């Protein structure tokens, strides 16, 4: 006889009865919360899946719940994360998250991190600042557009430089390749000031 997987809502109800927010599930330790038809497992800070969130959504009592997994990069709330849905049970979502690996590509002295080999957003740390390259292709066969952003948080303030490309169709791009975008990211303050001076 096949055992029906325990829902996270059931697990959350049991946790509430014992007045705890910490549960063991799928071989890992989690913080569990339930709100408005959604139950969420968040990996504990001291665990292997500390940056993983598993969400169970129950549309109505007659349907089976659906699950998705989110993996954040470096810290919760980071702009870089990967979201995967379509899981039939929480265990499948956990197994996927436990096996997920970030993709990296080295360009010059920088190592960029993305969610997949063909990711449209890549991040790199440059000193105390964060750089992002966003890649966008309007139509299949067109040359890609690149947007380069470099940001720095200073206590309660932040500074951000961003350079994009307004060219259309197959007009020559101002940023012609990922490598070019990476070079701009590395020299962003000087690059921006030079553009301003020459405008």
- In this structure, the answer to whether residues 118 and 85 fall within a common structural domain is no
- In this structure, the answer to whether residues 95 and 107 fall within a common structural domain is no
- In this structure, the answer to whether residues 123 and 85 fall within a common structural domain is no
How many domains does the structure of the chain reveal? 2
- In this structure, the answer to whether residues 79 and 156 fall within a common structural domain is no
Using CA atoms, how far residue 137 sits from 33, 115, 134, 171, in Å, is: 39, 18, 10, 13
Tokens 């059931």 locate to 10
In a domain, 3, yes or no: no
**89, two tokens:** 């049970």
- In this structure, the answer to whether residues 18 and 33 fall within a common structural domain is yes
- In this structure, the answer to whether residues 66 and 137 fall within a common structural domain is no
- In this structure, the answer to whether residues 54 and 77 fall within a common structural domain is yes
Over the chain (199 residues), what is each successive 10-residue block's mean pLDDT? 68 89 91 90 86 90 88 77 93 95 95 93 93 88 88 89 81 88 92 81
Q: What pLDDT is stored for residue 78 in this prediction? A: 62
* Domain closes at, from 53, 75, 99: 99
* Domain closes at, from 99, 127, 153: 99
User: Residue 110 sits in which domain range?
Assistant: 103-198
DSSP string, 110-139: EEEEESSTT-SEEEEEETTEEEEEEEE-SS
DSSP string, 70-99: EEESSSTT-S-EEEEEEESSHHHHHHHHHH
In a domain, 12, yes or no: yes
- In this structure, the answer to whether residues 125 and 55 fall within a common structural domain is no
Q: What pLDDT is stored for residue 45 in this prediction? A: 76
- In this structure, the answer to whether residues 123 and 155 fall within a common structural domain is yes
Q: What pLDDT is stored for residue 141 in this prediction? A: 74
What is the edge-to-edge ordering of all strands in the sheet holding 129-136?
A: 103-107, 110-114, 121-126, 129-136, 145-154, 157-163
- In this structure, the answer to whether residues 82 and 13 fall within a common structural domain is yes
Q: What pLDDT is stored for residue 1 in this prediction? A: 39
* Domain closes at, from 65, 99, 133: 99
DSSP string, 124-186: EEETTEEEEEEEE-SSTTSPPEEEEEEEEEETTEEEEEEE-----TTSPPSS-SHHHHHHHHH
Q: What pLDDT is stored for residue 165 in this prediction? A: 83
Using CA atoms, how far residue 169 sits from 139, 142, 162, 177, in Å, is: 8, 6, 21, 16
- In this structure, the answer to whether residues 87 and 133 fall within a common structural domain is no
In a domain, 60, yes or no: yes
């Amino acid at each position: 006889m096949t055992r029906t997987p325990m829902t996270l809502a059931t697990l959350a109800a049991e946790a509430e009865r014992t007045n705890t927010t910490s549960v063991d599930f799928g071989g890992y330790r989690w913080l569990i919360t339930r709100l408005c038809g959604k139950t969420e497992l968040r990996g504990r800070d001291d665990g292997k899946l500390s940056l993983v969130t598993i969400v169970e959504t129950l549309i109505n009592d007659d349907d089976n719940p659906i699950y998705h997994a989110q993996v954040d990069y470096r810290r919760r709330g980071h702009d870089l994360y990967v979201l995967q849905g379509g899981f039939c049970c929480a265990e499948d979502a956990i197994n996927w998250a436990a096996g997920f690996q970030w993709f990296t590509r080295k360009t010059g002295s920088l190592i960029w991190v993305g969610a997949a080999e063909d990711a449209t957003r890549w991040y790199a740390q440059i000193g105390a600042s964060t750089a992002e390259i966003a890649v966008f292709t309007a139509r299949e066969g067109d040359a890609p557009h690149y947007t380069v952003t470099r940001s720095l948080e200073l206590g309660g303030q932040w500074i951000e430089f961003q350079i994009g490309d307004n060219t259309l169709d197959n007009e020559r791009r101002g940023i012609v390749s990922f490598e070019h975008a990476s070079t701009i990211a590395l020299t962003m303050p000087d690059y921006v000031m030079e553009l301003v001076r020459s405008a």
